[in-house]
């Protein structure tokens, strides 16, 4: 009887070990997955803009550009207000642009490069005409706030529109480059 119980116990332990080893590995979900509103954007490093009649005007570090960045990154989504639009970093590493109450736009993919770096691959549906890859560095997540830095290529037409909104309106000089590479600091608030 003891021999039979020992054999049964041995078979039971081997079976449990086999079943446990067949368990699928759990998929690790990034701590960055979630829905985020662009809550603040500022110029991280000063740059110069050639303005007709004024010469080269510096744009100082710390200059707030939240509305401009919200417009640039979320312009593919029609939304009544920038605070209702948001970026979805989904668990499957797809990236969507959304507006409350509307269907989300498949905007590309994202990747957690490291604990402090994200890469956002925005497709041509999100950023006309050919999409853009943004690398966000120095990423820190504290509670529901995600901060980081990025270099964003802003087209001449976009910078021109920002200058035209000044009081008095300014005009971008013809000598301006086609693209301004602007280093910015970003803050996202998780919904």
Closest CA to 63 of 47, 75, 52: 47
For residue range 75-95, list pLDDT tens digits in order.
788 887 777 889 999 999 999
| pLDDT at res. 59 | 87
Q: Compute the distance between CA of residue 98 and CA of residue 107 in angstroms, rounded to an integer.
A: 10
Q: Where are the alpha helices (DSSP H) in 46-154?
A: 66-74
Within a domain: residue 4?
no
125 within a domain of the structure (yes/no): yes
Q: Is residue 140 part of a domain?
A: yes
Give the domain CATH number at 76: 2.40.128
| Residue 163 phi, psi (nearest 5) | -65, -40
Total structural domains in the chain? Answer: 1
Q: Check pLDDT > 80 for residue 149.
A: yes
**Taking the chain, what is the end-to-end CA distance rounded to the nearest angstrom?**
63
């Amino acid at each position: 009887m003891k021999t039979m119980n020992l054999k049964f116990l041995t078979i039971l332990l081997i079976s449990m070990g086999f079943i446990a080893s067949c368990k699928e590995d759990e998929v690790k979900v990034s701590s960055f997955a979630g829905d985020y509103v662009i809550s603040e954007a500022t110029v991280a490093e000063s740059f110069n803009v050639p303005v007709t009649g004024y010469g080269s005007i510096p744009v100082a570090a710390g200059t707030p550009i939240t509305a401009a960045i919200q417009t640039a990154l979320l312009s593919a989504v029609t939304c009544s207000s920038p605070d209702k639009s948001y970026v979805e970093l989904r668990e499957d590493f797809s990236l969507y642009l959304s507006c409350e109450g509307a269907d989300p736009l498949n905007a590309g993919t994202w990747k957690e490069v490291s604990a402090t770096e994200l890469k956002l691959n925005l497709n041509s549906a999100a950023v006309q005409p050919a999409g853009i890859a943004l690398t966000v560095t120095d990423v820190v997540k504290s509670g529901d706030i995600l901060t980081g830095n990025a270099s964003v290529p802003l087209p001449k037409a976009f910078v021109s529109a920002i200058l035209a909104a000044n009081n008095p309106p300014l005009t971008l000089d013809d000598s301006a480059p086609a693209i301004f590479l602007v280093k910015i600091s970003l803050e996202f608030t998780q919904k």
